[in-house]
Structure 1
Amino acid sequence: MAEMMVVKPKMTEEEFIKLPDDGRKYELVDGEAKEVPAGVRHDAIVMRIGYLMYPFAEKVGFLCASSAGFRMVTGNIRSPDVSLVLKGRLPEGQLPEGFMDGAPDLAIEVISPNEDWAELGRKIGEYFMSGAKQVWLVDPQAKTVTIYKSLTDVKVLHAEEEVTGGDLLPELRCKVADLISLP
């Protein structure tokens, strides 16, 4: 006798946005709510990055926290730890109330110790397919920031090296250690 395969119905965006807040971070991936690794130290680093970037970001766009959802061309809803959306690409310079179509101009992911590397690689690809201009991977354990300007233009910066915002945030300059060091 052949086994029956049960196909779970895909979660819609409407169902996803109505999920109760249980203190965890989720993304909508392939029709399922997938938990994204995070924790208190992780979030403290995310806040530090936002704090250091904000004075430069507010001049050109909007910084968003990890609860902002971006609709990828794949249909997945991704929520980078920190995102920059440039004002110039927004209709009338205004952010949408709900999810935003496409990737942010800059997506920053802070790597957690239990990160799923295959999923992270897939996410980077989706960001670029959906219009991101840069993706940063911030690794507090390795004390590095990996800057992707594309899937093939990649640079790894170490603790004492300087991170710049490039074309997106030309005035931003700080050491990698400043982004990841907690007092």
Structure 2
Amino acid sequence: MATAPTKLITVDEFEQMSFEGPCDLVDGEIVEQPMPGGIHGGVCVNIAFLLKLWVRDAAEEFWIGSNDVYILIETDPDRVRGADVMAIRKSRIEGGRLPLGTLRVPPDLCVEVTSPTDRWTGIHEKVAEYIRIGVKEVWVADVSERQVHVYRENRAPFILTIGDELRSDEVLPGFTCPVEEIFAGV
């Protein structure tokens, strides 16, 4: 006996649902993510805090979002990802405000922070998706190695370690911070 095909969920339906924990919408299906843990949250807070400090003096206004901003990757079937941290110029968003639902404009920056259950194949898939939709820069904060992997559109990725300075002059003009500040206190 044949089984009925799974009904694919749209981004609009996804926005109306509530979930017990983090999840993504991948090709119309909900993919639950394990809870990432305290160190992950601490690094996300550090990065969002450093970006918010920078925004106060930035020449252009940006929105900084952490953990709860869903980003539309593609439609039909729909794919939505939740970046751990993101930054987007306010001028690129209709009305200059973040939407209540899914962000349908690619951010300028997406940040992923590794969790104990993450696999690099999955991380690289998300990085490739972000770059493909027009995200200019992606950082992956590797908690276990205390490194930041930097991916930029049409450039070779590189890795920064403790003692290095993270700069993002093209995407976040004037932003700079020591890598150790990303992992401070965790």
Moved >6 Å (runs of 4+): none
CA contact (8 A) 1:57 1:84 kept: no
Q: TM-score, normalised by structure 1?
A: 0.88
Bigger drift between 94-103 and 43-52 goes to 94-103
CA distance in 1, matches of 2:168, 2:11: 32
- Aligned twin of 1:35: 32
Alignment partner of 1:104 is 2:96 = no
**Structure 2 SS opposite 1:16:** helix
- Aligned twin of 1:47: 45
CA distance in 1, matches of 2:166, 2:97: 28
- Aligned twin of 2:128: 125
Alignment partner of 1:115 is 2:118 = yes
- Aligned twin of 1:56: 54
Identity of aligned residues (%): 27
Shift of 1:29: 0.8
CA distance in 2, matches of 1:25, 1:136: 20
CA distance in 1, matches of 2:93, 2:160: 31
Cα RMSD for the two superposed structures: 1.9
Shift of 1:161: 0.5
**Structure 2 SS opposite 1:11:** coil
CA contact (8 A) 1:110 1:140 kept: yes
- Aligned twin of 2:141: 138
- Aligned twin of 2:2: 4
**Structure 2 SS opposite 1:171:** coil
The code of the aligned residue for 2:72 comes to R
CA contact (8 A) 2:74 2:80 kept: no
Alignment partner of 1:173 is 2:170 = no
**How many pairs align?**
180
Shift of 1:72: 1.1
Match of 2:81 among 78, 92, 95: 78
The code of the aligned residue for 1:150 comes to E
- Aligned twin of 2:157: 154
